[in-house]
């Protein structure tokens, strides 16, 4: 289960992420990412990555939409700990998500997040000594 502190709850946060952030589309998902400012008063408590989901009626009837949302939450559990602490992510499911496998949704989500640069920098991603980042 995705911990509550990692979930987006307020519609203003969803709106800020979908309208003000960057996005990338995949076959069954659209991934929106925005970076929170350092002094953002809307975020109380520890600074952690937050994720929200949008599963519209275009995906299918209520049972199908809820199943897709549960699968997306399950896929996000290991991903959210690897995200940068100051990002908000909204995952919008497209109609194909209803028939996609969980592993396919995971692959598409990670691909979108990687493309948008939402993952935290790791020491192994640092440039080699003597090389400038521009030389990569």
- The overall average pLDDT reported for the chain is 86
**What mean pLDDT do residues 73-99 have?**
94
Percent of the chain at pLDDT exceeding 70: 82
Nearest to 101 by CA among 132, 131, 75: 75
Give the residue extent of every domain in the chain: 4-35+48-118
CATH of domain 4-35+48-118: 3.30.230.10
CA distance 26 to 45: 33
What is this structure's pTM?
0.82
């Amino acid at each position: 289960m995705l911990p509550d502190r990692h979930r987006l709850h307020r519609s203003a946060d969803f709106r800020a992420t979908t309208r003000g952030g960057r996005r990338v589309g995949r076959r069954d998902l659209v991934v929106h990412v925005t970076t929170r400012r350092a002094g953002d008063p809307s975020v109380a408590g520890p600074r952690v990555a937050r994720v929200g989901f949008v599963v519209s009626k275009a995906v299918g009837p209520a049972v199908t939409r809820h199943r897709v949302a549960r699968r997306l939450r399950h896929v996000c559990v290991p991903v959210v700990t690897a995200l940068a602490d100051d990002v908000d992510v909204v995952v919008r499911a497209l109609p194909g998500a209803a028939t996609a496998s969980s592993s396919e949704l995971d692959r598409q989500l990670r691909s979108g997040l990687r493309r948008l640069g939402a993952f935290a920098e790791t020491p192994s991603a640092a440039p080699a000594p003597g090389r400038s980042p521009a030389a990569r």
